[in-house]
């Protein structure tokens, strides 16, 4: 301890190795040496005190020009963009050009939590949303994360932070409310992987005499693989006071980590000791407390009978998805597998340490941030070390499990750890490798192309090796894979002679990003839930499979369109105010289904009203549940116009691969012959006497026609024209007809695309 | 004969809500059940019998995500 204190007092950086724990610092100059954290630029500020959920200020740091700027958050911005993702999009809009691409210096990573972010009374209120122009989709992307960064950023005085520019060397941005300074520091790290950087910074920026002082620090970082792929995630840390380790949560999707590393930012760190249950200064703490008591009681009494989030986390979905033919297996070919019992949630439940408060923000009794402790790594640079692994969550169990043909929870846990450490999104990684495996099995790829790797489904050792190669950045094939399915299709065709038309059928991506881990081919509404989204097939807009396919609550195109209006808007609201969606409907009041009719019960009305009341209690406003949807609809349409401004955002970019619509190959049909024969009958074709190939072709043709009908119905309901562009009338209705927004619409909209009726 | 989420299903004397859930392999834990538009409490799934000709809705309460 004395040695550490001396190091900190000297303004130097500690370089050392702790063999018994995960901590393994490697900085410039090698082990056992120290190097100063050189201050490249510094700026003083007076931290604003958050009032009613807003600090009223946003911070812009340009790491290339080494400049700092504080901006006021206007009342107009609060009214029309609310916060979080809304603020991120507004700030990004003001900072980029129409031609901006992901690696241009003016591109930004904007991080904002929203007015409810940091509430500790109600569960699930510690999320931030990162917004940027994505390397995968070449349009705006928003990605969310738990952890402590969003709340601490606000309590350090900032509703949002913009990171712009490109540094000329590796840097760390340090926002320090304690010393009232923002600094750009020269990074001392040779190893920029997340656990290395995060552990070291939590320790460095905290009081060495009190290990739990590390909870006042939080870090956003990525890793080596983010430098060599477009799948870079943003890891967000929090100090686990029970385990005494740093934990990582991820804003995984869209390639934010790749942008961070392209800017040569190793980490963004925040420190503040101004942390309390009322740091948001809510307007009505009594109401907030009262609302919260009821939901905590619900979670404590009902979770064990409902979703078991507190013991299994989201892995409780593993066997459920398998049972309903929704667990992606072998690149979404199948939705079920005979070995799925091996990844049953009860297996993971035993691996997760139980009895620890696993909330990723204070007060979250859902406690779903499960972790595997003392996990001994079997491969890679940390082989033999015992580490704490965050997760695996459902998406990782499926993506780096069944979808790549592996049913080994220990292997999945190891890939989870290294994906986090290297800064890789486990969803894109899983879906991307699943595509590679299918190409390999089809004979489009050989060991010659993969530099010796056998990439059949289930090739555990070689898939693991591919992941390590992505981080090393030396292997050309690994770098091709890391560009994502959309670009792999081009490269495999051009370089390896693979058939483009076939890969188009089973390359599971939309708008340039990989599909998240659910089989959508059985639900027409879910085609839209994935592929009629703002940013590509991610499950954070609308998951409608049960509602559509099992409950049969939305039989017509108009019903589906209504669901594809309401739920994306409702879900968008979480991203504006700083919430996790899980406490909305992964636990429900005991009387939800006896108090409300089915269509209403599906929305969990009591929890919706809770959110309205919490918003009003924090901000002092007086919104209704209808206003909540309008807040979202404003930002939803603004983002759609933003995509249009960047050259996307029209109908042709709402593409859907054949496999998302239905079976592509004979073995997929034959796995469920009776089911698919009935499906074909429902389209008006008698399957009798047809070959499987003929059936596949006819069902695909029918479903393509249904897809176009769905697109029309959804665009109409959303107030968009036939080409998917929001109308000026819609923007005016939403009070979003800013001149620069209308100008983008008027430049692109065509008279022939307007609805006649 | 009864209908379950719009699909026909054979009825037999003493058929309970739980029998339907098991037959349909509805393993999702958050289910809401209505018989002829009348809700059935989750605690009563095992004991509640379903009359012939009933319209049964077994709603999986995960809507929107």
Sequence ranges of the domains in chain B: 2-60
Which chain A residue has its CA at the smallest distance from B33's CA? A593
Q: What is the pLDDT of residues A192-224, one digit of tens each?
A: 999 999 999 999 999 999 999 999 999 999 999
Superfamily per CATH, domain B2-60: Beta-grasp domain (3.10.20.30)
User: Is A588 part of the contact surface with chain B (CB cutoff 8 Å)?
Assistant: yes
Shortest distance between the Cα of A404 and any Cα of chain B, in A, equals: 24
CB contact under 8 A, A585 and B33: no
User: Is B28 part of the contact surface with chain A (CB cutoff 8 Å)?
Assistant: yes
**A and B: number of Cβ contacts within 8 A:** 94
| Distance between CA atoms of residues A165 and A264, nearest Å | 9
Q: Which residues of A309-345 are buried (b: 16+ CB within 10 A; e: fewer)?
A: bbbbbbbbbbbbbbbbbbbbbbbbbbbbbeebeebbb
Q: Closest Cα to residue A468, out of A392, A375, A378?
A: A378
Give residue A756's pLDDT.
86
Give every strand in the sheet of A39-44, ordered side by side. A39-44, A181-186, A171-176, A265-271, A217-221, A234-240, A245-251
- In angstroms and rounded to an integer, the radius of gyration of the C-alpha atoms of chain B is 11
Give residue A599's pLDDT.
87
Shortest distance between the Cα of A335 and any Cα of chain B, in A, equals: 15
| Distance between CA atoms of residues A393 and A317, nearest Å | 9
Phi, psi of A297 (to 5 degrees): -65, -45
Give residue B62's pLDDT.
80
Residues of B in contact with A530 (CB under 8 A): none
Q: State both tokens at A695.
A: 């059936």
Shortest distance between the Cα of A565 and any Cα of chain B, in A, equals: 10
CATH number given to A2-271: 3.60.9.10
Torsion angle in degrees (nearest 10) through CA of A730, A733, A739, A741 = -40
Residues of B in contact with A603 (CB under 8 A): 63-64
Residue A346: half-sphere exposure toward Cβ, Cα within 13 Å: 3
Domain ranges of chain A: 2-271, 303-514, 561-587+624-753
DSSP state of A720: B
Residues A266 and A189 sit within 8 Å (Cβ to Cβ): yes
pTM, entire model? 0.94
CB contact under 8 A, B5 and A546: no
Residues A172 and A185 sit within 8 Å (Cβ to Cβ): yes
Handedness of CA A410, A416, A422, A427 (dihedral sign): positive
Q: State both tokens at A391.
A: 């997760």
Q: Closest Cα to residue A159, out of A190, A118, A199?
A: A118
| Distance between CA atoms of residues A335 and A520, nearest Å | 9
Q: Closest Cα to residue A129, out of A163, A84, A82, A83?
A: A84
Residues of B in contact with A320 (CB under 8 A): 27-28
| Distance between CA atoms of residues A275 and A178, nearest Å | 11
Q: What is the pLDDT of residues A509-526, one digit of tens each?
A: 999 999 999 999 989 999
| Distance between CA atoms of residues A194 and A266, nearest Å | 9
- The ipTM, to two decimals, is 0.95
CA distance readout (Å), A352 to A232, A311, A366, A413? 26, 8, 15, 11
Give residue A396's pLDDT.
97
- Measured at the CA of A333, the angle between CA A330 and CA A337, to 5 degrees, comes to 65
User: Is A327 part of the contact surface with chain B (CB cutoff 8 Å)?
Assistant: no
Q: State both tokens at A687.
A: 């399957």
CB contact under 8 A, A601 and B64: no
Q: Closest Cα to residue A548, out of A558, A560, A530?
A: A560
Shortest distance between the Cα of A546 and any Cα of chain B, in A, equals: 6
Give residue B64's pLDDT.
58
H or E element at residue A144: strand A140-145
| Distance between CA atoms of residues A265 and A220, nearest Å | 10
DSSP state of A713: H
Q: State both tokens at A157.
A: 């005085």
Torsion angle in degrees (nearest 10) through CA of A322, A324, A326, A328 = 30
- Chain A interface test: which of B21, B29, B39, B65 (most A C-beta within 10 Å): B65
Which chain B residue has its CA at the smallest distance from A539's CA? B65
Q: Closest Cα to residue A323, out of A310, A337, A313, A302?
A: A337
Residues B39 and B59 sit within 8 Å (Cβ to Cβ): no
CB contact under 8 A, B61 and A540: no
Alpha helices per DSSP H over A333-473? 345-351, 394-399, 409-422, 426-441, 460-472
Burial class (CB within 10 angstroms; exposed 0-12, middle 13-18, buried 19+) of A169: exposed
- In angstroms and rounded to an integer, the radius of gyration of the C-alpha atoms of chain A is 25
| Distance between CA atoms of residues A675 and A68, nearest Å | 61
H or E element at residue A142: strand A140-145
Phi, psi of A66 (to 5 degrees): 55, 50
Angle between helices A557-577 and A85-95 (to 10 degrees): 80
Residues of B in contact with A593 (CB under 8 A): 31-33, 39, 42, 59, 61
Q: Closest Cα to residue A393, out of A321, A287, A491?
A: A321
| Distance between CA atoms of residues A334 and A327, nearest Å | 8
Give residue A35's pLDDT.
60
Q: State both tokens at A200.
A: 């070291």
- Nearest neighbour of A540 by CB, restricted to B42, B59, B65: B65
Weakly modelled stretches of chain A, pLDDT under 50: 1-34
Q: State both tokens at A336.
A: 């079920």
Burial class (CB within 10 angstroms; exposed 0-12, middle 13-18, buried 19+) of A76: exposed
Which chain A residue has its CA at the smallest distance from B36's CA? A597
| Distance between CA atoms of residues A369 and A367, nearest Å | 6
CB contact under 8 A, A552 and B6: yes
CB contact under 8 A, B61 and A324: no
Residues of B in contact with A592 (CB under 8 A): 32, 61
- Nearest neighbour of B25 by CB, restricted to A323, A543, A552: A323
Topology classification of domain A303-514: 1.10.569
Q: Closest Cα to residue A237, out of A365, A150, A130, A172?
A: A150
The DSSP result for A554-589, as a single string, is: --SHHHHHHHHHHHHHHHHHHHHHT--SHHHHSS--
Residues of A in contact with B42 (CB under 8 A): 305, 590, 593
Q: State both tokens at B30.
A: 């958050």
Residues of A in contact with B59 (CB under 8 A): 551, 553, 593, 598, 601-602
Give residue A475's pLDDT.
98
CB contact under 8 A, B64 and A307: no
HEC string of A493-547 equals HHHHCCCHHHHHHHCCEECCEECCCCCCCCCHHHHHHHHCCCCCCCCCCCCCHHH
CB contact under 8 A, B63 and A323: no
Give the end-to-end CA distance of chain B in Å, rounded to a whole number.
33
Shortest distance between the Cα of B47 and any Cα of chain A, in A, equals: 16
- Nearest neighbour of B32 by CB, restricted to A550, A571, A601: A601
User: Is A306 part of the contact surface with chain B (CB cutoff 8 Å)?
Assistant: yes
Phi, psi of A490 (to 5 degrees): -65, -45
CB contact under 8 A, A552 and B30: no
Angle between helices A409-422 and A460-472 (to 10 degrees): 10
CB contact under 8 A, B64 and A566: yes
Q: State both tokens at A323.
A: 């049972």
User: Is B48 part of the contact surface with chain A (CB cutoff 8 Å)?
Assistant: no
Q: Closest Cα to residue A391, out of A363, A407, A414?
A: A414
Shortest distance between the Cα of A118 and any Cα of chain B, in A, equals: 23
- Within 10 Å of residue A587's Cβ, how many Cβ atoms? 26
| Distance between CA atoms of residues A599 and A446, nearest Å | 51
Burial class (CB within 10 angstroms; exposed 0-12, middle 13-18, buried 19+) of A475: buried
User: Is B1 part of the contact surface with chain A (CB cutoff 8 Å)?
Assistant: no
Q: Closest Cα to residue A582, out of A290, A314, A336, A348?
A: A314
| Distance between CA atoms of residues A58 and A91, nearest Å | 9
Q: Which residues of A449-464 are buried (b: 16+ CB within 10 A; e: fewer)?
A: bbeebebebebbebbb
């Amino acid at each position: 301890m004395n040695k550490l204190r001396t190091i900190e007092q000297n303004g130097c950086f500690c370089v050392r190795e702790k063999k018994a724990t995960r901590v393994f610092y490697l900085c410039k100059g090698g082990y056992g040496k120290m190097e100063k954290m050189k201050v490249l630029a510094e700026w003083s500020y007076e931290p604003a005190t958050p009032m009613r959920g807003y600090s009223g200020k946003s911070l812009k740091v340009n790491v290339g020009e080494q400049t700092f700027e504080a901006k006021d958050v206007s009342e107009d911005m609060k009214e029309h963009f609310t916060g979080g993702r809304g603020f991120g999009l507004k700030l990004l809009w003001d900072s980029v050009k129409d031609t901006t691409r992901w690696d241009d210096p003016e591109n930004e990573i904007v991080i904002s939590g929203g007015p409810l972010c940091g509430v500790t009374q109600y569960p699930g209120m510690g999320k931030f949303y990162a917004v940027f122009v994505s390397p995968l989709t070449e349009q705006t992307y928003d990605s969310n994360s738990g952890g402590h960064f969003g709340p601490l950023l606000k309590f350090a005085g900032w509703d949002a932070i913009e990171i712009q520019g490109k540094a000329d060397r590796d840097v760390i941005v340090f926002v320090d409310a304690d010393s009232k300074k923002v600094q750009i520091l020269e990074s001392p790290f040779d190893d920029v992987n997340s656990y290395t950087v995060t552990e070291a910074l939590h320790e460095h920026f905290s009081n060495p005499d009190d290990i739990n002082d590390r909870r006042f620090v939080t870090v956003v970082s990525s890793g080596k693989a983010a430098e060599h792929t477009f799948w870079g995630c943003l890891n967000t840390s929090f100090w686990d006071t029970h385990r005494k380790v740093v934990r990582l949560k991820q804003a995984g999707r869209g390639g934010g980590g790749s942008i961070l590393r392209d800017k040569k930012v190793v980490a963004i760190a925040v420190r503040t000791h101004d942390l309390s249950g009322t740091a948001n200064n809510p307007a009505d703490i009594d109401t907030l407390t009262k609302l919260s008591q009821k939901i905590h009681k619900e979670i404590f009494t009902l979770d064990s009978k409902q979703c078991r989030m507190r013991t299994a986390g989201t892995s409780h979905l593993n066997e459920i998805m398998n049972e309903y033919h929704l667990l992606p297996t072998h690149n979404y070919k199948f939705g079920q597998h005979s070995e799925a019992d091996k990844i049953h949630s009860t297996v993971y439940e035993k691996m997760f340490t139980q009895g620890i408060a696993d909330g990723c923000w204070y007060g979250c009794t859902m406690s779903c941030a499960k972790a595997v402790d003392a996990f001994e790594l079997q491969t890679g640079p940390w082989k033999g070390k015992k580490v704490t692994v965050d997760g695996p969550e459902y998406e990782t169990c499926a993506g780096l499990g069944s979808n790549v043909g592996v049913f080994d929870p220990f292997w999945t846990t190891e890939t989870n750890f290294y994906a986090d450490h290297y800064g890789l999104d486990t969803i894109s990684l899983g879906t991307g490798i699943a595509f590679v495996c299918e190409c390999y099995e089809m004979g489009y790829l050989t060991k010659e192309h993969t530099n010796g790797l056998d990439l059949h489904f289930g090739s555990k050792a070689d898939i693991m090796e591919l992941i390590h190669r992505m981080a090393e950045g030396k292997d050309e094939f690994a770098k091709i894979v890391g560009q994502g399915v959309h670009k792999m299709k081009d490269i495999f065709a051009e370089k390896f002679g693979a058939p483009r038309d076939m890969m188009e059928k089973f390359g599971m991506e939309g708008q340039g990003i990989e599909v998240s881990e659910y089989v959508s081919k059985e639900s027409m509404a879910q085609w839209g839930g994935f592929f009629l989204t703002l940013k590509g097939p991610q499950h954070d807009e609308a998951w409608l499979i049960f509602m559509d396919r099992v409950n049969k609550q939305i039989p017509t195109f108009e019903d589906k369109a209504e669901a594809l209006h309401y739920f994306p808007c409702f879900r968008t609201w979480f991203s504006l105010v700083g919430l996790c969606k899980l406490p909305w409907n992964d636990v429900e009041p005991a009387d939800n289904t006896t108090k409300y009719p089915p269509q209403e019960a599906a929305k969990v009305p009591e929890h919706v009203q809770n959110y309205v009341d919490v918003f009003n209690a924090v901000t002092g406003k007086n919104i209704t549940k209808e206003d909540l949807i309008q807040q979202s609809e404003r930002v939803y349409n603004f983002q759609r116009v933003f995509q249009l401004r960047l050259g996307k955002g029209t109908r042709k970019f709402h593409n859907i691969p054949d496999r998302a619509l239905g079976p592509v190959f004979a073995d997929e049909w034959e796995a469920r012959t009776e089911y698919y024969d009935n499906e074909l009958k429902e389209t008006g074709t008698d399957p009798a006497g047809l070959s499987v190939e003929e059936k596949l072709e006819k069902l695909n043709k029918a479903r393509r026609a249904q897809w176009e009908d769905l697109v029309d119905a959804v665009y109409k309901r959303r107030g968009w024209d036939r080409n998917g562009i929001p109308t000026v009338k819609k923007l005016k209705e939403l009070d979003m007809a800013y001149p620069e927004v209308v100008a983008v619409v008027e430049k692109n909209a065509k008279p022939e695309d307007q609805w006649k009726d | 004969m009864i209908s379950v989420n719009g699909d026909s299903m054979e009825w037999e004397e003493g058929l309970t809500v739980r029998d339907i859930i098991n037959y349909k392999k509805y393993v999702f834990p958050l289910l809401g059940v209505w018989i002829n538009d009348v809700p059935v409490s989750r605690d009563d799934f095992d004991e509640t019998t379903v009359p012939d000709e009933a319209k049964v809705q077994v709603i999986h309460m995960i809507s929107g995500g």
